[in-house]
Homo-oligomer: A and B are copies of this chain.
Amino acid sequence: MSKDYLMRKDIYSLIKEKIVSGSFLPGQRLNVRNLADILHISTTPVRDALLKLSNEGFVEVFPRRGFFVKALSEKEVLDIIEARIMVEGFCINNYFDEIKKCEDIDSLKEKMLEVKQTKNRKLFDELDKKFHSAIICASYNNNIIRFFNELWEKIEILRRHNERFMKSNEEHLKIILSILADNKKKAYKALLIHLSNVKKETLYSLNEGIKTITRGGVL
Task: Give chain A's interface residues, CB within 8 Å of chain B.
Answer: 1-2, 4-5, 8, 44, 47-48, 51, 76, 79-80, 82-83, 86-87, 89-90, 139, 141-144, 147, 150-151
In the complex, chain B residues whose CB is within 8 Å of the CB of A143:
79-80, 83, 147, 150-151
Are A4 and B44 within 8 A (Cβ)?
yes
Q: 9 A-B pairs, CB-CB below 8 angstroms?
A: A2-B48, A5-B51, A79-B144, A83-B144, A83-B147, A86-B86, A86-B90, A86-B144, A143-B150
Q: Is the interface of A mostly helix, strand, loop or mixed?
A: helix
Are A141 and B5 within 8 A (Cβ)?
no
Count copies of this chain in the complex.
Answer: 2
**Distance from A38 Cβ to chain B, minimum over Cβ atoms (Å):** 19
In the complex, chain B residues whose CB is within 8 Å of the CB of A79:
141-144
Docked CA distance A48–B89 (Å): 37
In the complex, chain B residues whose CB is within 8 Å of the CB of A89:
90
**Distance from A118 Cβ to chain B, minimum over Cβ atoms (Å):** 35
In the complex, chain B residues whose CB is within 8 Å of the CB of A48:
2, 4-5, 8
**Distance from A18 Cβ to chain B, minimum over Cβ atoms (Å):** 21
**Distance from A7 Cβ to chain B, minimum over Cβ atoms (Å):** 11
In the complex, chain B residues whose CB is within 8 Å of the CB of A139:
82
Docked CA distance A84–B158 (Å): 29
In the complex, chain B residues whose CB is within 8 Å of the CB of A86:
86-87, 90, 144
**Distance from A35 Cβ to chain B, minimum over Cβ atoms (Å):** 14
Docked CA distance A44–B87 (Å): 38
**Distance from A209 Cβ to chain B, minimum over Cβ atoms (Å):** 22
**Distance from A19 Cβ to chain B, minimum over Cβ atoms (Å):** 17
Docked CA distance A89–B5 (Å): 39
Docked CA distance A143–B83 (Å): 7
Partner of A82, one of B4, B8, B141, B150: B141
